[in-house]
Homo-oligomer: A and B are copies of this chain.
Amino acid sequence: MFAEYDIIVVGAGHAGCEAAAAAAKMGSKVLLATMNMNTIAQMSCNPAMGGVAKGQIVREVDALGGMSGIITDETMIQFRMLNKSKGPAMWSPRAQSDRMRFAEAWRLSLEQTENVDFWQEMVTGILVEGGRAVGVRTSLGINIRAKAVVLTNGTFLNGIIHIGEKQLGGGRAAEKSAKGITEQLIELGFEAGRMKTGTPPRVDGRSLDYSRMEEQFGDENPSKFSYTETTPLQNQRSCYITYTNSEVHEILKTGFEKSPMFQGRIQGLGPRYCPSIEDKINRFADRDRHQIFVEPEGWNTVEVYVNGFSSSLPEDVQLKALRKIVGFENAKMFRPGYAIEYDFFPPTQLNLTLETKLVENLYFAGQINGTTGYEEAACQGLMAGINAHNKINDKAPFVLKRSEAYIGVLIDDLVNKGTEEPYRMFTSRAEHRILLRQDNADIRLTKLGYELGLADESRMKAVDKKIEETAEIIAYLNNKPLEPGDINSMLESMGSAPIVEKQRAGQLIKRPNIEIKHIAAAVPSIAEYLSKFKADSVEQAEIAVKYESYIEKEYAMASKMSELENYVIKEKIDYRNIPALSAEAKEKLLKVNPETIGQASRISGVSPADISVLMVYLGK
């Protein structure tokens, strides 16, 4: 019934959408097979993209030529740059999205992508011939052939929804779960596991008293995700902050004896860093309140997302507790929170291209690999789409290094260390995070995306211009002499020591609280000079100048690391004698006795910090 495709992508979540778009743009004929075309790119949980480390991933996806940044920009209702008071490695863009518009924009964008066809049906199996994936089989028994298959089933494989003592089959509230695929993969020799995640209740915004909460505005001059010419927000919607209290906690505790987690009905491990409210109460028994973010779900809808109140306690307990939160006294629920358990496949069964080791031309991306989060899913989808396309066209694998991108860190962690709980990205996972900033993802990655045939020429030109401008501005700043008379009153007003003889502008920018904008305000000729350049280039130059020494050190470290990657550990070390190693690292290193630093670094439980310690110990 179907002609052969180049690539079939199963599932149109965040991973599947990026995979399909990327492979199609690179020239593959793609079929996106998904259960329900009305739920393409549904945000299963909170209607937000980005956040700490996750925002950096979205910027990287965008820089490579992916779509998530553009779609977010087009449909966001609030934008904030998190951690602006910290160093630039921590700056993290985050947007609140209009849930319906986000899904619609993704769908329309895919529809406009040449080479993407759609098929609405459940996929129930993979066609495998000679150890190679050659297509999929659907619930109607249709065989659709392709040269490669990308699985992005999200939380749908044998999904079970838990609320209190009740269990319902489903891949998401009100959606069917998917059957067949896990069973077949196990037969093929794959190892499968079980994980869980949860989501809070949705409430009716009309029933909340916002005047009793703290308003959280979007940024005054909102930035955005995409390096392309998307337009920043003109108007924004506010979020609100409130808190649980001990009364809330006491009520929640009355549901513990019916909790599917505490009573052991849920086998799968949940995300430790995204705990349910009952988890938080349990684990942090001494804390008498937890923060709740009250987030609108769109421009016009009254539906509200209660961030921080994920729960799978009985629905009546959820509601009763909710109504004890300040501002929620009369809250009406649209539906309770729930937990969902689903199958995943330990990602150590993958190559760094996200191709499975067992079945050639079969790729896994997204939550199926044990990750959690839209951004984590999206970037894996992008990488799987790229690699599937390259593979069937006999092109080189596309792998990003840990020093090149959070995406590289994520995939390296997954493939080499596996994960026992839902994996989400943190800045702390990236040893080179000073290099992996949201401001320079285009400089790091757009050239690679362009060479792949994914990022288009206009992106490349924009980056080239940014690089050029940045260099020019840096040179200018490092040269430009400032007279004490011109600058000292500004310095004093900022509480910074005055200069006694003339100094280069670049020198002053290195001072902690002195920014380029302060200097420009004081010295009109600098302001005039800078006005010729794009704001991005000026920012880039400022960061380069201000953090020069950190960045240089980090580059040196990165190159040393890549050298060390192959450094052979000749001596037999008694790791117990290195006190600075973590207990877990000592144990694992002793057990594995790695032959190289590279191997050591990939042992699960051995952190980048442990590797640094080891390197010091080895005198490197």
Contacts and interface: CB of A to CB of B under 8 A. Distances in A.
A174 B117 contact: no
Contact of A301 (B42, B107, B176, B303): B107
Nearest to A168: B139
A119 interface: yes
A35 interface: yes
Given A37-B303, A111-B300, A119-B334, 16 more contacts: A36-B174, A36-B175, A37-B335, A38-B42, A108-B300, A108-B301, A111-B301, A111-B302, A112-B302, A118-B204, A119-B335, A120-B173, A120-B202, A120-B334, A120-B335, A142-B315
Contacts of A316: 1, 142
A511 interface: no
Given A111-B301, A204-B117, A315 B36 contact: no
Nearest to A139: B168
Interface string A104-147: 10011001100001111100000000000000000111100000
A391 interface: no
Nearest first, the 3 closest Cβ-Cβ pairs linking A and B are A36-B174, A120-B335, A1-B316
Contact of A163 (B38, B140, B166, B168): B140
5 contacts: A36-B175, A37-B335, A120-B335, A139-B166, A174-B176
A127 B333 CA distance: 21
B35 A319 contact: no
A417 interface: no
A332 interface: yes
A255 to B, nearest CB: 12
A137 to B, nearest CB: 13
Given A111-B301, A140-B163, A319-B1, A334 B118 contact: yes
Nearest to A107: B301
Interface in A326-340: 332-336
Interface residues of A, number: 46
Nearest to A121: B335
A245 interface: no
Contacts of A514: none
Contacts of A108: 300-301
Interface of A: 1, 35-39, 42, 100, 104, 107-108, 111-112, 117-121, 139-142, 163-164, 166, 168, 173-176, 202, 204, 206, 300-303, 315-316, 319-320, 332-336
Contacts of A37: 174, 303, 334-335
Contact of A166 (B1, B42, B141): B141
A333 B121 CA distance: 12
B315 A174 contact: no
A117 B332 contact: yes
A424 to B, nearest CB: 25
Contacts of A302: 111-112
A1 B140 CA distance: 42
Contacts of A163: 140
Contacts of A164: 140
B168 A315 contact: no
Nearest to A118: B334
Contacts of A303: 37, 111
A302 to B, nearest CB: 5
Contacts of A112: 302
A554 to B, nearest CB: 45
Nearest to A122: B174
A140 to B, nearest CB: 5
Contacts of A174: 35-39, 120, 176
Contacts of A42: 38
Nearest to A333: B119
